[in-house]
Amino acid sequence: MYNSFYGLSDRPFQLTPDPRFYFDSATHRKAMAYLGYGLAQGEGFIVITGEIGAGKTTLTGQLMASVDAARLTAARVTSTQVESDDMLRLAAQGFGIVTEGADKALILQRIESFLIDQSRQGKRSLLVVDEAQNLPASALEELRLLSNLQARDHALLQIFLLGQPEFRERLQRLEQLRQRVIATHHLEPMHADEVEPYIVHRLTLVGWNGNPRFTPDAFPAVYRFSGGIPRQINALLSRILLLGAIEKLSVIDADVVGRAIADLTQDVPGPGAAPVVGGGEAVVTEPVGDSRIAALEARIAEQEQVLERVLALLVDWVEAAERPGGGA
């Protein structure tokens, strides 16, 4: 609904990661440098960690978009606490290798043959594993063994591991795997002074022309709620723009931010709430987790559909009243 009201071509603050909206914050810029260094080495593991919603998936998407597909074959796996055999099968399927009816030995043989063939074509192979904190030790060991595959004097496969902060601690206890890590970076939240450029960047990509206008006090209020986590900024800005469209606002200030926060936290209640100041009043907020974010996004979409239907009915009613013989 707010897209049409503000003349935007797309949803600028959707919660689903989209590399189109990649923002080069200080921490993402540093992570990209580590990723570039790691790719140049062509071997071992690169580890990127960060809080939920910190932008790990978007970062990886941006990296993949910048890499020459003619020189790199990449596969992506999102782990779901799979053991070693299933991890091997998922990795093979990610590269388009047939695994149906094949045992572990045959799958491993097919993976090695595929990687050798890619190498002969002058292409490197990369496996990106998301949610690495969920992997059991057996699956991580399987990945380590895959990273050992070689042809002559070079590795056949490089692996990116993306995970939440606890994976950093776990990695310290996995000595053999840790020795294979050639680059690592932890994505920090954005700084307070990056929130405004982040919001403007995403809005500009969808044709924002300055409507609505954000007052200077709106951005600190957004930062206090989100802590600089991109996904939480997105959740809040979606609600702010929806509120703005409903109330036909052309200016977003700290008071509007505060009211949007109140709506957001009322929709998604839970323990661990903390006060956040917005518009001169303290409002209660909390970190928004993955399951609650999904529920929130579905709720916002449902509300937008309902409001669009209501507005359509109102327009029909007004037009009928204005026609000759119409009644109020």
User: Could you tell me which of 263, 67, 268, 222 has the C-alpha nearest to residue 158?
Assistant: 67
Q: 150 and 48: one domain?
A: yes
For the segment 35-76, what is each residue's pLDDT rounded down to a tens digit? 888 888 888 999 999 999 998 888 888 887 777 778 889 888
Average pLDDT value for the chain: 83
- Write out the E strands in 167-292: 181-187, 213-214, 251-252, 274-278, 281-285
Q: What average pLDDT score do residues 251-273 get?
A: 79
Domain of residue 139: give its range.
26-187
Q: 177 and 219: one domain?
A: no
CATH code (residue 182): 3.40.50.300
Domain annotation covers residue 55: yes
Q: For 98-107, 164-173, 315-324, which range has the lowest pLDDT when averaged over its residues?
A: 315-324
* Whole-prediction pTM: 0.74
- As a whole-number percent, the residues of the chain with pLDDT over 70 amount to 80
- Write down the pLDDT at residue 41: 85
Domain annotation covers residue 308: yes
pLDDT band per the 50, 70, 90 thresholds, residue 218: very high
Q: 85 and 223: one domain?
A: no
Q: 32 and 141: one domain?
A: yes
Q: 246 and 124: one domain?
A: no
Domain annotation covers residue 175: yes
Q: What average pLDDT score do residues 208-219 get?
A: 96
Long-range contact pairs involving 239-246 (C-beta distance under 8 Å, separation at least 24): 239/263, 239/264, 239/300, 241/2, 241/6, 241/13, 241/212, 242/1, 242/2, 242/300, 242/303, 242/304, 244/2, 244/5, 244/6, 244/212, 245/1, 245/2, 245/5, 245/6, 246/1, 246/307
Q: What average pLDDT score do residues 221-240 get?
A: 96
Domain annotation covers residue 38: yes
Structurally, the chain folds into a number of domains equal to: 2
pLDDT band per the 50, 70, 90 thresholds, residue 151: confident
